[in-house]
Structure 1
Amino acid sequence: MPKVLISDELSPRAVEIFKERGVDVDVKVGLKPDQLRAIIGAYDGLAIRSATKVTAEVLAVAEKLKVVGRAGIGVDNVDIKAATARGVVVMNTPFGNAITTAEHAIALMFAVARQVPAADASTQAGKWEKNRFMGSELSFKTLGLIGCGNIGSIVAERAIGLKMRVAAYDPFLSEERAQALGVDKVTLDELIARADFISIHTPLTEQTRNILGRERLMKTRKGVRIVNCARGGLVDELAVRDLLISGHIAGAAFDVFSEEPAKQNVLFGAPNLVCTPHLGASTVEAQENVALQVAEQMSDYLMTGAVANSLNMPNVSAEDAPRLAPYLKLAENLGSFAGQLTETGIKAVSIEYEGTVAALNVKPLTQAVITGLLRPQLENVNMVNAPILARERGVDVAEVKHDRDSDYQTQITVTVTTERRTRSVSGTLFGGKRPRLVYIKGIEIEAEFAPNMLYITNDDKPGFIGRLGALLGDTGVNIATFHLGRDKPGGEAIALVAVDQKLDGALVDRIGALDGVTQAKALAF
């Protein structure tokens, strides 16, 4: 039974979902880094929010860990690069709190435009300073959105409903999507020049850190109002304070800070500033949604292999997971076959899909091929880190789908180019679930994969089968199956022999020394 650790506050319903799906679960909230490192090795999954920091040091001792699930959107508290290198899937829940965070951004826009917190404090103090709190309408103002993904697009829809004009900067926003939302797609410089309000909805990355730095903030329109409900570190907080004091920025609202919990911050005490303690996702509905979603996603992955909302692996739906399972096995075996026969550096690999398989989600299959290909050469390779390891080693990976009919209902062909040669191997599924080899180097040969196999290339001349059989018999090796193929009479022949035990190196060397043999290799699947 897989075991999951919940290390941050989640809805009790999440625990119930894990148990209902057959996953054992422990709840240990508030662990210090050394405490987390001391126990994480016992768990297959880790469910977190923003408090737990999943660092490279934590991942280094997480020997069983397969998945980290973040109940929320931001994953800047997870070292995704280290997780990928360790083969750990990282998931988030991008939709569970999107509405809640978008609504909070709108609320803060109203609060900063009408100085609601300061007016409330003044009124409750008995001052009745009606003339002091002159606000600004949102209607017909320009809202500049930095980031127009899940949350940003909801903010755009709400803002348009308030009769605001919306300009959006997002490198991934297509013209068609912008038109559908009713926003102007602009450059960041254009947004800075036009916006009366700026709201940020982008993750914190090296590219987005300080996206609103001092230089850009000084180029904004005088009287601009800034809202940040995304991540601390996206805005230069000291620059905002200075510009609030000078009056260049009319108001600012921050729900997130560069260091949290923000018990102190350079912004605090600045005029016309509204602050909340990272409440973007803090509604009953959102907390329940993200907790349920992360529990369901992690359970599905651990129990069925389904992958949803992953940051470092192709998604596989719960419906597709069982259907892909035999193809994944075929793909990994084909990659392993090619990898075990490869003795020099791999330069490129091409994976071709024909027939039924070409209509499926082949991204996971490609990763399975690469996993099998690299595993004979590298330790700790799996479907998560295999593409990264291939890229680091300069292996060019090509994925091709063919509409043409193949000799079989479904066919996968793996072609590996090394420093010395190019070799291809093809396979199919018999009965829709049994992986089988059908071509090796273009030579037709039908063989099922077996735990222990012997691969031989030899000259197609009489007497070879007898010599091989006699040697195996003399050394006590029992043949389970024997498959033969050749390119032409008297040309190159291939023998693929399944045997009942593992072959030692000395015996393989003796087989390789037989008359007519050009290559002999023991294979394991």
Structure 2
Amino acid sequence: MPKVLISDKMDPKAAQIFRERGIEVDEITGKTKDELIAIIGGYDGLAIRSATKVTKEVLAAATNLKVVGRAGIGVDNVDIPAASAAGVVVMNTPFGNSITTAEHAIALMFALARQLPEADASTQAGKWEKNRFMGVELTAKTLGLIGAGNIGSIVADRALGLKMKVIAYDPFLTAERALELGVEKVELDQLLARADFITLHTPLTDQTRNILSREALAKAKKGVRIINCARGGLVDEVALKEGLDSGHIGGAALDVFVEEPAKASPLFGTPNFISTPHLGASTTEAQVNVAIQVAEQMADFLIAGGVTNALNMPSLSAEEAPKLKPYMALAERLGSLLGQLAGDAIRGVAIEVEGAAAELNQKPITGAVLAGLMRVYSDTVNMVNAPTLARERGLDVREVRHDREGDYHTLVRVSAETAEGPRSVAGTLFGNGAPRLVEIFGIKVEADLAGPMLYIVNEDAPGFIGRLGTTLGQAGVNIGTFHLGRRAAGGEAVLLLSVDTAVDEALLADLRALPGVRTVHALRFG
């Protein structure tokens, strides 16, 4: 039974879902880093909010961990590269609090436009300063979105309903998607020059850090009002205060800060500044939604192998997983075969699918090939960290999908560019879903790939198989299955033998010394 730790306060429905799916769950919150390190080794899954920091040290101690699920969007508190290197899937729930966060941005835009916090404080202090609080309408104003993804698109929809004109800066926004959203795609400098209000809806990355820098704020339209409900660090807080003090910035509302909890900020007390304590996701509905979603996603992964909203692995639905499982097993063995035979000589790899395989999600098949291929370098490799290992080794990875009809109802081919030239292996699935090798380095052969095996290239000549059997028999090695292929009679032949026990180096040397032998490799599968 998989075991999950919920380490941050979360709606009780999360634990309920885990238990209903047959997963053991512990709810232990408020632990320090050292306390978490002391217990994390016993868990397959870790469900978190923003309080738990999943650091490299925590991941090193999490020897059984397979998945980290963040109930929410931001994963700043998870070391994703370290998780990937450890083979741990990192998931979030990008849609559970999208509406809530978008609505909070709209609420802050209204609050800035009509000076609602200051007017409330003044009125409750017994003043009646009706003439002091002169606001502006949102109608016909230009809203500039920095980031037009999930949340940004919801804000755009609401703003259009308020009869605002919406312009958007987002390098990933296509012209077709902009048209669908009803927004105008612009460059950042254009947005700064034209927007009456600016809202930010982008993750914090090296590219977006201080995207509203001192220089950018100086380019902004005089009197602009800025709202950030995304991530602290997108706006230069010191420069923002200077802009507010000078009057160049007409107002600002931040729900997020560089340092949180924000007990002190240069912005606090500045006129025309509104702050809230990271409330973007703080509605009853959002808290329930993200808890349910993270539990369902993690349960799907731990029980069925489904991968949803992962940040370091291709998505694979719980419905797809059973269909893809035999293809992934085939792909992993083909990758393993190529890795064991070609090893360090590999410079690039291409994964081709045709027939039934071409109708499926190819990303998991590619991940399985890389997992098998990289296993020659690491015994802890899996589909999560295999792409990272491949990149570290400088491997060029290509995917090819063929619509053509071939000799087999389904075929997966893995080709490698090596120092010795191109190498290719191909396999299919038999009717019962069993993986079967059908071609190796251009030679047709039908073979299972399981357990300890021997790969032998030899000259096709009479008497060789007898000498081989005698040598193995004298060493006490029993042959399980015997698969033979050759280019032509009397030419190069390939033997794949499954053996009951692993072959040691001394026996490999004896086999290589047999007349006619060109190559001998000991292989291992499973």
Q: What's the CA shift string for 1:252-306, capped at 9, x where partnerless? A: 1111111111111111101011111111001111000011000000111111111
Q: CA deviation at 1:432?
A: 4.6
Q: Determine the structure 2 residue equivalent to 1:235.
A: 235
Q: Determine the structure 2 residue equivalent to 1:38.
A: 38
Q: Is the 8 A contact 2:343 2:376 kept in 1?
A: no
Q: CA deviation at 1:25?
A: 1.1
More displaced 10-residue stretch of structure 1: 262-271 or 98-107:
262-271
Report matched runs for 1:273-312 at 5 Å: 273-312=273-312
Q: Is the 8 A contact 1:344 1:420 kept in 2?
A: no
Report matched runs for 1:219-258 at 5 Å: 219-258=219-258
Secondary structure of the structure 1 residue equivalent to 2:25 = strand
- Counterparts of 1:509 and 1:362 in 2: how far apart (Å)? 40
Report matched runs for 1:54-203 at 5 Å: 54-203=54-203
Secondary structure of the structure 2 residue equivalent to 1:269 = coil
- Counterparts of 1:354 and 1:512 in 2: how far apart (Å)? 37
Q: Determine the structure 2 residue equivalent to 1:206.
A: 206
- Counterparts of 1:178 and 1:277 in 2: how far apart (Å)? 32
More displaced 10-residue stretch of structure 1: 34-43 or 271-280:
34-43
Q: What's the CA shift string for 1:396-444, capped at 9, x where partnerless? A: 1111111111211001111122222332111110015100111111211
- Counterparts of 1:66 and 1:343 in 2: how far apart (Å)? 27
Whether 1:501 aligns to 2:483 is no
Q: Determine the structure 2 residue equivalent to 1:473.
A: 473
- Counterparts of 2:381 and 2:87 in 1: how far apart (Å)? 7
More displaced 10-residue stretch of structure 1: 53-62 or 321-330:
53-62
Q: What's the CA shift string for 1:206-264, capped at 9, x where partnerless? A: 10000001111111111110100000000011111111122111111111111111111
Q: CA deviation at 1:343?
A: 4.5
Secondary structure of the structure 1 residue equivalent to 2:461 = coil
Structure 1 unaligned spans of 5+ = none
Q: Determine the structure 2 residue equivalent to 1:487.
A: 487
Secondary structure of the structure 2 residue equivalent to 1:342 = helix
- Counterparts of 2:255 and 2:146 in 1: how far apart (Å)? 16
Whether 1:52 aligns to 2:56 is no
Q: CA deviation at 1:81?
A: 1.3
More displaced 10-residue stretch of structure 1: 6-15 or 336-345:
336-345
Q: Is the 8 A contact 1:430 1:436 kept in 2?
A: yes
Secondary structure of the structure 2 residue equivalent to 1:111 = helix
- Counterparts of 1:432 and 1:188 in 2: how far apart (Å)? 56
Q: What's the CA shift string for 1:469-518, capped at 9, x where partnerless? A: 11122222211111111000100001111111222221122111111111
Whether 1:337 aligns to 2:311 is no
Q: Determine the structure 1 residue equivalent to 2:516.
A: 516
Q: CA deviation at 1:372?
A: 0.6
More displaced 10-residue stretch of structure 1: 412-421 or 215-224:
412-421
Runs of 4+ in 1 over 4 A off after TM superposition: none
Q: What's the CA shift string for 1:285-340, capped at 9, x where partnerless? A: 10000110000001111111110001111000111001000111100000111111
Secondary structure of the structure 1 residue equivalent to 2:145 = strand
Q: Determine the structure 2 residue equivalent to 1:435.
A: 435
Q: Determine the structure 1 residue equivalent to 2:384.
A: 384
- Counterparts of 1:200 and 1:500 in 2: how far apart (Å)? 62
Percent identity, aligned pairs only?
A: 67
Q: What's the CA shift string for 1:110-135, capped at 9, x where partnerless? A: 01111111111111111111111111
Q: Is the 8 A contact 1:450 1:498 kept in 2?
A: yes
TM-score, length-scaled by structure 1: 0.98
CA change 1:474–1:284 in 2 (3 A) is same
- Counterparts of 2:366 and 2:482 in 1: how far apart (Å)? 29
TM-score, length-scaled by structure 2: 0.98
Q: Is the 8 A contact 1:458 1:493 kept in 2?
A: yes
- Counterparts of 2:455 and 2:21 in 1: how far apart (Å)? 43
- Counterparts of 1:349 and 1:172 in 2: how far apart (Å)? 28
Structure 2 unaligned spans of 5+ = none
